[in-house]
Amino acid sequence: MQISLSGKIAVVTGAASGVGLATVHQFVESGIEHLIVVDCATELPGSLKNLLESSPDRIQFLRGDVKDRSTHEQYAELAVRRFGGVDVLVNNAGVSVVKPIHEHTEQEWDYVMDTNVKALYWSARAILPSMMQRRSGVILNTGSISGHVGILKQGAYGP
């Protein structure tokens, strides 16, 4: 099914791999007008580099870690300043520590929770004011099968 995102502005976190990268490609294929892609990766995949190089006025990359409040504030400010706001926010970034839950350190637990859960709070705080002002917008939070069924050694990832 082909949909049109013509005239729409989106932000995708976790955009350098997996579902996030596939979402970026689908949004571009669907005619998105402007796109901010967010990831903490130091090395971007070739397909994302190509998109950024071929459409620098259409696609903007922001290197940032979603567990940091400032990353959300930066993409929200960038979206408002450059494009007038955001129509679609895709919270896709996620991490996992693969080991039995009783062996997780507190720092590992916090890393997963701050990235996979608290980041959703930071994104809402940062982007909802502009969506409310525009009286429009949608926030999509991706998930995993781990949120529905237990997977061995992924206790923090899918509690």
Q: Where are the domains of the chain?
A: 9-147
Judged by average pLDDT, the poorest of 8-12, 38-42, 74-78, 94-98 is 94-98
| Res 159: pLDDT | 57
Query: pTM of the full predicted structure?
Result: 0.93
From the candidates 75, 111, 121, 157, give the one annotated as an active-site residue.
157
| Res 5: pLDDT | 94
Contacts 24+ apart (CB under 8 A), 74-82: 75/11, 75/36, 75/38, 75/126, 76/126, 76/127, 76/130, 78/36, 79/9, 79/11, 79/34, 79/36, 79/127, 79/130, 80/130, 82/34
CATH of span 9-147:
3.40.50.720
Our answer to whether residue 75 is catalytic in this structure is no
pLDDT band at residue 1 under the 50/70/90 scheme: low
